[in-house]
Amino acid sequence: MVLTKSAKISISWAGIIIVGLTSFVMAKRQVDRNRVEVMKTKERMRNANLYAAHDESIRYK
């Protein structure tokens, strides 16, 4: 099967677009996972600070 020059270029562009979109989606998912992890960490810190602020008796024993 002989492909013309324009067919080869079209196949190349299709491959580039597919690889680019896949890379974008994977990077976006990783950023979202990292953001969720940071938000959970901040929430744990906030909850720990609230507990310590409301329970003065534990802090100064």
Question: Comparing 47 with 24, which gets the higher pLDDT?
Answer: 24
Q: How confident is the model at residue 52 (pLDDT cuts 50, 70, 90)?
A: low
Q: How far is the first Cα of the chain from the last one, in angstroms, to the nearest whole number?
A: 84
pLDDT of 1:
80
- For 9-13, what is the mean pLDDT? 97
The share of the chain scoring above pLDDT 70, in percent, equals: 82
Taking only the tens place, the pLDDT of each residue in 19-46 is 999 999 999 999 999 999 999 999 998 8
Give CA–CA dist 17/3, Å, rounded. 20
Distance of CA 5 to the CA centre of its chain: 39
